[in-house]
Structures are given as structure tokens and as C-alpha cells.
Amino acid sequence: MGHFLEAYEATLPLRERSRLSAPDTMRQLVKLSGGVLAVIVERLGRAAALAIEHGEERITSAWIERSQWEVPRCFCPDGGSAP
């Protein structure tokens, strides 16, 4: 999982390292996703977009947490918030 997260992080358009392969972050991602890779990728995409929208250039545990229930504006067809 650590190698996957390092490789995935390298593809993200963030200026700062998010340290997704840190043990605490990996545990959080597995817990929130049930270990399903597609859900991990979706959550990380949302977390990255949320961070960028709020002027932060890295994914933190707080952004991962918020990605469970908050949809970034850029993911909504009208550019607004999700219903």
C-alpha cells in the first residue's frame, strides 16, 4: 500500500508533499475506505481538490476526513456545492 500511495502522490498537482504513505495516513485511508482501492483513489482525489480550493498545497488527515462528506466545487457540474 505504501508504494502505491507514494506513486499516486507523485501524480497529484500539489506543490507540497502529503506523506500519504505515513503509517497514520495509511491506517486512516484503509479505515475510511474499507480497504477498497477505488474508494481510496476517490477520497484522495476529493481531498486534493478540497485542499487546492482552500489554498493548501497538500493533503492532510483533515482533508481526507472531509472528503467523506464534502464534494469539491470543481466536481459539481454547476461549479457549486453538491446537493
List pLDDT tens digits, range 5-60: 999 999 998 999 999 999 999 999 999 999 999 999 999 999 999 999 999 999 99
Residue 74's pLDDT band, with cuts at 50, 70 and 90, is confident
* pLDDT at res. 48: 96
Of 7, 78, 80, 13, residue with least CA distance to 40: 7
Q: Residue 16 to residues 3, 19, 59, 60: CA-CA distances in angstroms?
A: 18, 9, 9, 11
Domain ranges of the chain: 2-75
Using an 8 Å Cβ cutoff, are 17 and 58 in contact? yes
Cite the DSSP H helix spans in the chain: 2-11, 23-33, 37-53, 61-66
